Amino acid sequence: MLTRVILDDLNARYAYALDSGKLDLWPEFFTDDCVYKIISNENFGLGYPVAAIYCDGIGMVRDRVVAIMQTAVYEPRTYRHFVGTAHITGQEEGGVTSEANFALYESIAEREPRILFVGRYVDRVVMADGAPRLRQRLVVYDNYRVFNSLIFPI
């Protein structure tokens, strides 16, 4: 039921929501008991839990949105996501596990566009409230370090 084509649809909507600045739509992609992390491949591979962004439950996902919109100080910029074709890696209770490559570009005034992050999504996707949702999205990035700041989710 959760086919590869459906996962691609989900990822396209996800990218569209973030890239068009509709940050308030972002929590909609997650289940209430979700885990969302942006974590380096280094930490992931070594089993270290620390992440650049660490959300354990939908509340922390929503808090991230609120904090970015209300307290963060940053130079205006545009993010642009590219998500590769999803690959279903397994079936589990109520859904599937899957991975998809991603690349994120950053554009800022007076600068050249820059590849900011490159890596893979490690997902657990389930049907919830009539739509496919992310029970887990680990954003595992390959790049060794972050170029200055990471403002928005990936």
Partner 1 sequence: MSEQPLEVPESRAWPQEGSTTRVPYWIYSDPEIYKREMERIFRGPVWCYVGLDAEIPKPGDYKTTWIGDRPVIVVRDEDSSINVVENRCAHRGARLCWAPRGNSSEFKCPYHHWSYTLKGELSGMPFRRGVGGKGGMPKDFDLAANGLRRLRVHNEGGLLFASFSADVEPFDRYCGSEVLSYVQREFSGRPLQVLGYNRQIITANWKLYFENLKDPYHATLLHAFFVTFGLWRADAESACVSSEDGKHGVMISRNRDRAGVDETSTLSSFHSELVLEDKDTVTPRREFADGKVVGITLFPCVVLQQQANTLATRHLIPISPSQVELTWTFFGYADDDEAMTRLRLRHANLMGPAGYVSMDDSEVLNQTQIGATACPDDRAVLEMGGKTADNCDHMVSETLIRAFYNYYRTVMGL
76 binds a copy of itself (CB under 8 A): no
Q: Rounded to a whole number, what is the distance in angstroms from the first to the last CA of the chain?
A: 26
- Tell me the number of residues near a copy of itself by CB under 8 A: 43
Euclidean distance between CA atoms 94 and 124, whole angstroms: 10
Least distance to partner 1 from the beta carbon of 136, Å?
16
| Residue 99 touches which member of partner 1, a copy of itself, none, C-beta under 5-8 Å by kind | a copy of itself
For residues 118 and 108, is the Cβ–Cβ distance under 8 A? no
Where does this chain touch partner 1 (CB under 8 A) — which range of 10-18, 65-73, 93-101, 129-137?
Answer: 65-73
Tokens read off for 8:
């691609």
Least distance to a copy of itself from the beta carbon of 150, Å?
14
Euclidean distance between CA atoms 52 and 149, whole angstroms: 10
Among candidates 65, 70, 75, which has minimal Cα distance to 36? 65
| Residue 113 touches which member of partner 1, a copy of itself, none, C-beta under 5-8 Å by kind | a copy of itself
φ, ψ at 10 (rounded to 5°): -60, -45
| Strands 131-141 vs 30-40: parallel, antiparallel or unpaired | parallel
Smaller CB separation from partner 1, 101 or 107: 107
48 binds a copy of itself (CB under 8 A): no
Q: 9, 32, 33, 75: which one contacts partner 1 (CB under 8 A)?
A: 75
Euclidean distance between CA atoms 33 and 56, whole angstroms: 7
Residues forming contacts to partner 1 in the complex (CB under 8 A) are 38-40, 42-43, 46, 48-54, 56-60, 62-64, 66-67, 70-76, 109-110, 112, 144-151
